[in-house]
A and B are shown apart, each in its own frame.
Chain A
């Protein structure tokens, strides 16, 4: 089975409801947004529509390359896995991601990285997102 990721199929369909963001924290048992690894924001004002930021599961992930402790490892097929115990919270991964798709847990001072579970996709009412195999 190939590795899967959340793909932004068409951000022009996004209405900015942010249900994907709430789904992400809920999947982990919480309300709110504090653990979410997906962000919907306007592209310079709501009149211009929205952009969806989520890990695209890079084949050669820059975040993993700059991790000084080996807390981030490459996932087979694309993307990364985080080992919280090894992470020192330096934030290099966050700076290295060109998409801004590494989010931050300020309480733990550690990154929030997509788990590639696809739970958020179930709550997108407008087919903005799909859960699909990583393109090679």
Chain B
């Protein structure tokens, strides 16, 4: 049966399984199903950090069958924006959930004492986590659970760090050491429920309707992913290959977007990192691309000669932007140490970088002083100070750091400097200052993320063609892209594979395994899911009139010139009008 939903009630320590095959048959899986479950399960106006918040994890009909359908979608109410929380992660999470026999997991309630939940062979175990609570390094927590729990190779260990326990509003949930439900604060929601980790193992089989067609299509995907150029960008240098081209065109946010070019970009560029530090590449389960790039950082211990440690540190474009150019860091190793600290604490690297960038500028401008920063003097490029600040944001010894832990919008509302607090819809900005399409996309995207509609890609196309974009062109592009991405995230196909999973191919792939949706139906359904996500946002208090770009975005020229305020406003209005909100 396709459509089994496992419910876990943390308050009562009970679990049960619900047959939702009809819901899945109509709404594919992933986001399509997830938004419905969230709407139904979450009481209107729920406190994101109260027991009434609900976490929905969902996978899709292609998971465990085809390569690159390996994402798990998490939906929840975000403690960062107070609105729709949505975050996707890979690793082994999706295959483990589906092969454990479920297509979705709904977590509600809250435990009084720290626990973790383990799901093995169709059984759910509530285990005490009092001893794990407060362990300073989230990598250690992973190590402990690896030893304690069965299912090596076919399991996912999703856990939070101290940041989640301390309710940092942009704490993440980490899985398989290097993958994250990074954005919008799922880690804090786990923390508020006293849920330290969720371990899922599973190795079941999935019957297939048309085995011959299934194998043929499988080979098509496999060949496209491994023998053509479609995935090469992710495969070779990885996402960090964006650093140099974005810097060259002047679209790389630098020092809190005071500039959009970084003079030392070379030292944090994909080529440089691959050449000097790339130590290993790893993959999510059922993905041949292996886009996860790990740097090997070898460091001497200062107190003992000939004594070294080597740390493997995952890097991608977004953390390079947020904890690199945004902070003016040109010391590559220093940047890696910030990445590592983000893993140790389990915070979203992107939000953290933007918060630290705001803190630095506010300090420069005298809005805050050493009294607030507990003696720290933040300065562009000074990674040692940032390293200390990261820990203070998590430990929150003073009111100022507690405020920083609430996100940059909150902090700036209290201390000033809103014009350079780079938050969009309450979510800290992604690393693209490419032009109007990127920023309109961040504003209108259901989760205010670069992943919603990839406006940066349209900006770069327009730049290449050396022309002026129209409002209609941008809006149509963003709406079409974001709608189709609802289908990809209902199938739970990785967005990096969007070149392979086009509508016609998706239709065939679904047919082989027993689901019939034609491609035009899928496109319509995508728009419908997007509308529903936005309706949910409105239900939870989202207001169009609150959507503004911080001044800084208008002040710093993009590769397509200064961004025009009126242009952005009209585009945002047109987007919502066309979407039908």
Closest B residue, CB atoms, query A43? B152
Cβ–Cβ < 8 Å partners of A130 in chain B: none
Contact, CB under 8 Å: B288 / A17: yes
B523 at the interface (CB under 8 A from A): no
Which residue in A17, A39, A125 is a CB contact (below 8 Å) of B153? Answer: A39
Chain A 1-39 interface residues, beta-carbon cutoff 8 Å to B: 15-19, 22, 25-26, 29-36, 39
Complex A-B: 18 CB contacts under 8 Å = A16-B283, A17-B289, A17-B290, A19-B67, A25-B205, A26-B215, A26-B218, A30-B205, A30-B206, A30-B207, A32-B64, A32-B203, A33-B64, A35-B205, A41-B153, A46-B178, A48-B312, A49-B280
Contact, CB under 8 Å: A29 / B204: no
Cβ–Cβ < 8 Å partners of B283 in chain A: 15-18
CA distance A18 to B287 in the complex (A): 8
How many of chain B's residues touch chain A, expressed as a range?
35 or more
Contact, CB under 8 Å: B282 / A123: no
A47 at the interface (CB under 8 A from B): yes
Q: A17-B290, A49-B280, A106-B121 are in contact. Are A29 and B146 (CB under 8 A)?
A: no
A98 at the interface (CB under 8 A from B): no
Contact, CB under 8 Å: A17 / B152: no
Contact mask A39-73 → B, CB, 8 Å, 1/0? 11110111111100000000000000000000000
Q: A17-B288, A18-B285 are in contact. Are A32 and B67 (CB under 8 A)?
A: no
Contact, CB under 8 Å: A29 / B211: yes
Cβ–Cβ < 8 Å partners of A123 in chain B: 222, 288
Contact, CB under 8 Å: B312 / A31: no
Binding site for B on A (CB under 8 A): 15-19, 22, 25-26, 29-36, 39-42, 44-50, 106, 123, 125-126
B419 at the interface (CB under 8 A from A): no
B65 at the interface (CB under 8 A from A): yes
Q: A26-B215, A31-B208, A33-B203 are in contact. Are A45 and B282 (CB under 8 A)?
A: no
16 further interface pairs, Cβ-Cβ under 8 Å (given A16-B283, A17-B287): A15-B281, A15-B282, A16-B282, A17-B285, A19-B222, A22-B64, A31-B205, A31-B207, A31-B208, A31-B214, A32-B206, A33-B99, A33-B154, A47-B280, A106-B121, A125-B226
B177 at the interface (CB under 8 A from A): yes
Closest A residue, CB atoms, query B288? A125
Cβ–Cβ < 8 Å partners of A42 in chain B: 152-153
Chain B 446-497 interface residues, beta-carbon cutoff 8 Å to A: none
Contact, CB under 8 Å: B142 / A33: no
CA distance A50 to B214 in the complex (A): 28
Cβ–Cβ < 8 Å partners of A41 in chain B: 152-153
B294 at the interface (CB under 8 A from A): yes
Contact, CB under 8 Å: A34 / B177: no
